[in-house]
Amino acid sequence: MRQKIRVSEVEKALQSQRSLWPGVSERAIDLGDEAQTSGDRPHRIILVGEGSSLSAAQLAYWMLRKQGLRREWKASKLFVFSAADALLSESFDSSDFLIGVTHRGRTQTVSDVLKKGRARGARCARVLSQDVTLKVRASELRVPTGPLEKVEPHTQALSTALCALTSFLGESKYWKKFWRQAALNPDPSLSELRYDLKKRYGRSSGPQILVGRADGEALARELQLKFLEMARFPSWVFSSESFFHGPQWALAAKGRPEMLIPSTFFREARRDEYRLRRTAEFPSVSEGIGGSPCAQVLENLVRCHWMALALALNLGLNPDAPNLVSSTRRSS
């Protein structure tokens, strides 16, 4: 009798995340409508986070830079920082709107930034899972994302946070349509990703150098994190320009395979040089809604998570259980 292959919790989360986006978007839009009428227009809107939450904040920043903020907040300046950087270097006042992204609500540096902002009169909001029962001050707005994930490699949490941020801060009509249509797009083929990784890098390896610019660099850092969390596979991340100022000699000279994640919003100045080096380019995806760059960023993020899962399975690892070899490997 053929053995039934167990589907990991990570894969289940990836399969179900698209169905959550329309609901998360609608809730965030309603909260954004309330927020824009309940106070003066903020001079600065500052997004902060750590880890995958910082990746969500960075990608939301680039998508909102492209598509624009809500009409009432058009003149506001949008910034994104790691919570640690914001805590040490930023001074806040009553004209600021601080938005902390933290899936479980436990990230201490994010809480410290919001506490510091409140003490100086800034408006504050926290983007976190709908299932978290964290007590927050009455003056702090709570923007819910999706349900808590059962395992730590956060994938669904990141996409629903991105959904909440863009819908909360951006034009409601555009983002409501965007997330409804994105929910209908197909996911990448896991079997094709596994085959592509084996073909390019061998049965027990993947790209060890990840390079990108702007949103491409943010995606590269998220992919690096997921490679470590799911597959325990180490890699290096560089901005596309800094790679050519030293690291290429120390790393590429030893034959370590590279992958370029090009920016959706900026032309990659050294793209031809990467092609001459035979660097693998991040697989192209459907451009989604009318060729929307924002759709491209979202689908690239989804592909990053599926790629990390594919690498874990190629290595025979269970993405749900760090440091443990899966007892039921998928067939090759």
pLDDT one-digit tens code per residue, 166-188? 999 999 999 999 999 999 999 99
Hey, which bits of the chain come out as E strands? Answer: 44-49, 77-82, 96-101, 123-128, 140-144, 209-212, 236-239, 258-261, 280-281
The CATH number for 9-182, chosen from 3.40.50.10490, 3.40.50.300, 3.40.1000.10, 3.40.718.10, is: 3.40.50.10490
Greater model confidence, 222 or 265 = 222
Burial class of residue 284 in the structure, from the number of CB atoms within 10 Å of its CB (0-12 exposed, 13-18 middle, 19+ buried): exposed
What CATH code would you report for 190-314? Answer: 3.40.50.10490
**Residues across the chain:** 332
Domain spans in the chain, listed from the N-terminal domain onward: 9-182, 190-314
Phi, psi for residue 259 in degrees, rounded to 5 = -145, 130
CA 327 to chain centre: 30
Task: Give the separation between CA 258 and CA 161, rounded to whole angstroms.
Answer: 29
Copy the structure tokens of residue 296.
């491209």
Q: pTM value?
A: 0.90
Q: Do domains 9-182 and 190-314 have the same CATH topology?
A: yes
Task: Give the separation between CA 274 and CA 152, rounded to whole angstroms.
Answer: 34
**Among all chains, which residue has been given the structure tokens 């325990």?**
232
152-167: pLDDT as tens digits: 888 999 999 999 999 9
Would the pLDDT of 219 be above 90?
A: yes
Would the pLDDT of 285 be above 60?
A: no
